[in-house]
Chain A
Amino acid sequence: MNGIQKIGIALFCVALIIFTALLGYNDFVLTESSLSTSSEIHKKAILEEAASLGVLDKTYNNNISFISDFKSSILSAQAKLKNQYEENPPKDKEASEWEYKIGDWEIKNILTPTIKASGTGWVSKNTFNAFLLTFGLAILGGFIFIIPKFFESPGIKNDGIYHSSLTKGLKFGQKLFFITSTILGVLIYGFFYMGGNFFWPLLTAIVIGIILFLVFNYQKEKTLKPTRSASSEFAGWLGIFAGVYLIIFYVILYWSPQYLTNWITMVDPISQSLSGNDASQWFLYGLLYTVIVFTMGIRMIAKYRHNKYQIIRTCSVMFFQTAIAFILPEILVRLNYPYYDFKNIWPLNYTFFFDWNINNLLESGGLGIFMLVWGIVLIILGVPIITYFFGKRWYCSWVCGCGGLAETMGDPFRQLSDKSIRAWKFERWIIHGVLVFAVVMTAMVLYHFFTGSSKVLFFDSNNVRQWYGFLIGSAFAGVVGTGFYPLMGNRTWCRFGCPLAAYLGLVQKYKSRFRITTNGGQCISCGNCSTYCEMGIDVRAYAQKGQDIVRSSCVGCGICSAVCPRGVLRLENASGDIAERTDQLRTIHITEDQIGIL
């Protein structure tokens, strides 16, 4: 790292500190106009309570006490309305009780927009400056760090990755600590998330227990000792810090977005210019995501600029994230069409078959119908056919948003994936388990949609889908998916959790022309390919035997081929030998009857 690059890093750190500090830096005043609810009854009740508690029109200089006071006002209004409703049931029998009472879910919907609208301080008045000081400065710092890389001599530059406290990975014990505490945290929070129902967390705990039993006992991986996993003798403290920061960010984003209102306010003007609406936390997240994919995509291109496959692939993920996933849906909204990401495929896009989505698409005229058909065609024709020709890489490392983030922001952490056979066993149980869960959940939701009955056996389809959204959609894909980049590698979600990756992988394994071929006897078993495989495939185990690599998890990122110092690995599509591509054709270097190298 040269002096200029250090300045870039310093600017980025300053931007990150400002960004974080801005969360609490604003003034808030609750007024009649900043209270955001469509119900006049609710509004009146909350305003009365806020006035009597002294919250109304009081200036707060931080969001924590404001949120807490405002929440008490709502809770007290909720209790009051509930009492009123029970003591004096309204005469209008047609109306739903929730027109009078405030539902728990509605509190969430009132909180974030109201907190945001109540902001009156520096951030709210200076959205543009705040944006410049955070996003702007971070992007500037990033580019100052990245641009000098274009002037280094081209070639693989992995120097110092295992010396850096950000990228060297965790000790086995630390890793175990993060996994265990995340699981416990999710299960305990899940209990409250499901309204104090212990059934779902308990069922999940039982499934986790079964998987542990299957891997450790049934499949004879009895030792708990670290095998050759990503664990190491040294602890990457900067990596732990980055991981914890990301985990906290995702927890707040999914489950307490009211604390993020200053950030959301900051990106209002951009949201206005795209969709014509104020920003939500999801717009903030989408913008952040796109900026990161774009900036870190430039870094990826600088790092692999001698490698055309990597350049084209990186441009592809940058394009799909920016244009198709971020900008196009916002423009659709502006034109009064449904928000729709054309490249997001069920079961990764698990809400696709939810009643509100289907209804929304059906009510949106020709384009809505097209979106519905497009989504279904992708699932039943697109995935198998394109995967047959090119392998699952066409989606996972060229198109997908999760993959796009993993390949750009996640690239510095790709070496942290666990390469052990034990991890592979966990992977197969968990990812296919999630696929089964996604299919069952969707089947129940569709059953509900067509029959109107939410009960299937003992289960309520609403609970099933709520738990899926919480456990898989938020906790696994988000908190673990990205938060664990610096802890367990950049493809933790894609490898262990993504149901679409599982589906693509089944096609890739059993019916695809894609494989990685090895170059005769040239492998020297150096280990670069395995180390830098983000999916934790022990590539070397195949390469040193001269065997082709056909694995359902391979996303075809091509990095194994790029880092190979002897030109051993090549990604290929061919139909000529499709039936025998997993045969050990070139496995032996010396044979009894035909002595020679093959």
Chain B
Amino acid sequence: MYIYMGHMREVDTQPYEPNFWAKNRIDLVREHISEINHESKKLIASDGTQIPYDQLVLALGSKSNMFGWPGQDLKGVGGLYSLQDLENMEEYSPALNRAVIAGGGLIGIEMAEMFRSRDIPVTMLVREKSYWDNALPPEESQMISRHIIKHHIDLRLESNLGEIIDDGTGKAHAVTVKETGEKIDCGFVGLTAGVSPNIGWIKESGIDTDRGILVDDGLQTNIKDIYAIGDCAELKNPMPGRRGVEAIWYTGRMMGETVAYNICGSKIKYDPGIWFNSAKFLDIEYQVYGTVLSKAPPEHKSLYWEHEDGEKSIRIVYDESSKQVIGFNLMGIRFRHEVCEKWIADKTDLESVIQDLSLANFDPEFYEQYESALVKLYNSQTGKNLTLKKKRKLSQVIKFLRS
């Protein structure tokens, strides 16, 4: 995304310097692997090279979902997952009259932002009633929908992709909207309806798979000394409330750390901890900690405050009967991960969280603070008279985290 928009070069997006691998005695081999022979413990590359292993960690990533749309294999059609996908977008970008993006999730809005950075008109076809409303609560979902339109993106809600039309040379030149039959001319079609584990031929290698590569609590597959981590792994026993496949960045990192412990002889179970996530929708940053459901069950109540500019909000979700805080949802405001996590883990009472809320504030210095607005809101809803008890000083935060 940032490469396409000219914010960074490809080399800047790599987490380590190119000489990191050699310095740390890691052989970086660029090969296409076509077979795993787990009896002789060898990988076989497509050019016939054999690479022996003692322990094998599979980190194969995802691939973009394709739902069998007519025309999905035409030129000028693509997802956004790999560098090759980016090159594909780049190829069709010069003189592009319009891009249509099918799928309204995190990747869809990213792709829309990319095209808009080059002033290319964009139409987004979103199946839901409001942007990403299967993950965001209604108010936040509407906020982002408004923001998308403000950025001159043609947002079509409750619209599905019908078919992609060939211009006669094997290249996409228009799409139709399933619901209305409307035809939209475009030179590029982005398919961003989520991702699924990239497990292709792994199924034939004797490794058990379902949606992804099935792994036990120590991230080992059914075959000894073969592990799978990241987007391609599917936990046989996920934590309650969590899915077997979680294609988010930090679970991949945690799985990497877990598998390293296991391979090095310390047997530990994978535990992703309390849910969190973040994203940026055009100019609005988003953070979530704990349980914030899009369609909240009746026992989940929330205290929701929205700034009058309609682009910042704080939501604190709590259990109605116990008043224990279970989640935070932030738009345009930064909260400190460790503090929110500790409140949730300690099953902290809503009122005590509200009064100490400044501890969580992670916005840059001199930014306006909205904790008092939240306290005021709570007081007006309940008739109580709470006040803020703590300041956002790092010293206080450290004291709290160590308590």
Q: Do chains A and B stick together as partners? A: yes
Please indicate the chain B residues that have their CB under 8 angstroms from the CB of A153 in the complex: 150-151, 283
Closest residue of chain B to A598, judged by CB?
A: B338
Please indicate the chain B residues that have their CB under 8 angstroms from the CB of A223 in the complex: 19
Q: Which of chain B's residues 233-268 have a Cβ closer than 8 Å to chain A?
A: 249-250, 253-254, 257-258, 261, 266, 268
Q: Which of chain A's residues 529-548 have a Cβ closer than 8 Å to chain B?
A: 530-531, 540-541, 544
| A526 and B13 within 8 A (CB) | yes
Bound: A584/B56 CA distance, A:
29
- Tally inter-chain residue pairs, CB-CB below 8 A: 166
B363 → chain A closest CB, angstroms: 8
Q: Which of A4-12, A139-147, A179-187, A567-575 contacts B (4 or more CB under 8 A)?
A: A567-575
Q: Which of B1-9, B295-303, B371-379 contacts A (4 or more CB under 8 A)?
A: B1-9
B148 → chain A closest CB, angstroms: 12
Q: Which of chain A's residues 310-360 have a Cβ closer than 8 Å to chain B?
A: 312
| A308 and B8 within 8 A (CB) | no
Contact with B along A556-590 (1 / 0, CB 8 A): 00100110011100111111110000000010111
Q: Which of chain B's residues 370-403 have a Cβ closer than 8 Å to chain A?
A: 393-396, 398-399
Q: Which of chain A's residues 502-531 have a Cβ closer than 8 Å to chain B?
A: 517, 519-522, 524-528, 530-531
Closest residue of chain A to B117, judged by CB?
A: A159
Q: Which of B47-55, B164-172, B269-277 contacts A (4 or more CB under 8 A)?
A: B269-277
Bound: A159/B17 CA distance, A:
24
Q: Known contacts being A159-B7, A522-B276, is A590 close to B261, with CB within 8 Å?
A: yes
Please indicate the chain A residues that have their CB under 8 angstroms from the CB of B16 in the complex: 541
| A160 and B365 within 8 A (CB) | no
Q: Known contacts being A160-B5, A227-B19, A309-B364, is A522 close to B278, with CB within 8 Å?
A: yes
Is A421 interfacial (CB 8 A cutoff)? yes
Bound: A160/B9 CA distance, A:
11
Closest residue of chain A to B15, judged by CB?
A: A525
Total B residues in contact with A, Cβ cutoff 8 Å? 61
Is B129 interfacial (CB 8 A cutoff)? no
Please indicate the chain B residues that have their CB under 8 angstroms from the CB of A232 in the complex: 9, 11
Q: Known contacts being A309-B367, A522-B278, A576-B394, is A528 close to B9, with CB within 8 Å?
A: no
Please indicate the chain A residues that have their CB under 8 angstroms from the CB of B364 in the complex: 307-309, 558, 561-562, 570-571
Please indicate the chain B residues that have their CB under 8 angstroms from the CB of A571 in the complex: 364-365
| B11 and A590 within 8 A (CB) | no
Bound: A592/B261 CA distance, A:
8
Please indicate the chain A residues that have their CB under 8 angstroms from the CB of B249 in the complex: 524-525
| B117 and A527 within 8 A (CB) | no
Please indicate the chain A residues that have their CB under 8 angstroms from the CB of B366 in the complex: 308-309, 312
Q: Known contacts being A421-B17, A574-B394, is A521 close to B280, with CB within 8 Å?
A: no
Contact with A along B99-140 (1 / 0, CB 8 A): 000000000000000000110000000000000000000000
Please indicate the chain B residues that have their CB under 8 angstroms from the CB of A228 in the complex: 11-12, 14, 17-18
B140 → chain A closest CB, angstroms: 16
Is A420 interfacial (CB 8 A cutoff)? yes
Is B341 interfacial (CB 8 A cutoff)? yes
Bound: A112/B250 CA distance, A:
64
Please indicate the chain A residues that have their CB under 8 angstroms from the CB of B347 in the complex: none
Q: Known contacts being A227-B18, A589-B257, A595-B268, is A566 close to B280, with CB within 8 Å?
A: yes
Which has the most chain A C-beta neighbours within 10 Å: B6, B276, B399?
Answer: B6
Is A380 interfacial (CB 8 A cutoff)? no
Pick the contact of A540: B15, B254, B368 (CB < 8 A). Answer: B15
| A567 and B394 within 8 A (CB) | no
Contact with B along A252-271 (1 / 0, CB 8 A): 00000000000000000000
Which has the most chain A C-beta neighbours within 10 Å: B9, B151, B282?
Answer: B9
Bound: A597/B12 CA distance, A:
27
Bound: A572/B261 CA distance, A:
33
Closest residue of chain A to B8, judged by CB?
A: A531
Bound: A415/B258 CA distance, A:
35
Pick the contact of B285: A154, A566, A596 (CB < 8 A). Answer: A566
Is A155 interfacial (CB 8 A cutoff)? yes
Q: Known contacts being A566-B280, A589-B254, is A527 close to B13, with CB within 8 Å?
A: yes
Is B336 interfacial (CB 8 A cutoff)? yes
Closest residue of chain B to A169, judged by CB?
A: B9
Pick the contact of A161: B7, B250, B278 (CB < 8 A). Answer: B7
Bound: A520/B274 CA distance, A:
12
Bound: A415/B2 CA distance, A:
13
Is B329 interfacial (CB 8 A cutoff)? no
Please indicate the chain A residues that have their CB under 8 angstroms from the CB of B363 in the complex: 570
Is B337 interfacial (CB 8 A cutoff)? yes
A540 → chain B closest CB, angstroms: 7
Q: Which of chain B's residues 129-167 have a Cβ closer than 8 Å to chain A?
A: 150-151
Is A158 interfacial (CB 8 A cutoff)? yes
B111 → chain A closest CB, angstroms: 15
Is A162 interfacial (CB 8 A cutoff)? yes
Please indicate the chain A residues that have their CB under 8 angstroms from the CB of B13 in the complex: 526-527
Is A163 interfacial (CB 8 A cutoff)? yes
Please indicate the chain B residues that have their CB under 8 angstroms from the CB of A573 in the complex: 394
Is B362 interfacial (CB 8 A cutoff)? yes
Bound: A288/B14 CA distance, A:
40
Bound: A520/B287 CA distance, A:
12
Which has the most chain A C-beta neighbours within 10 Å: B5, B12, B367?
Answer: B12
Is B75 interfacial (CB 8 A cutoff)? no
Is B334 interfacial (CB 8 A cutoff)? yes
Pick the contact of B367: A308, A517, A574 (CB < 8 A). Answer: A308
Which has the most chain A C-beta neighbours within 10 Å: B7, B8, B278, B393?
Answer: B7
Q: List 16 A-B contacts (CB under 8 A).
A: A159-B6, A162-B9, A223-B19, A415-B8, A521-B337, A522-B250, A526-B13, A531-B7, A540-B15, A558-B365, A566-B278, A571-B365, A590-B271, A595-B268, A597-B272, A597-B341
Q: A526-B13, A527-B8, A596-B271 are in contact. List 10 more A-B contacts (CB 8 A).
A: A160-B5, A227-B19, A232-B9, A522-B278, A566-B287, A567-B285, A571-B365, A576-B399, A577-B398, A596-B273
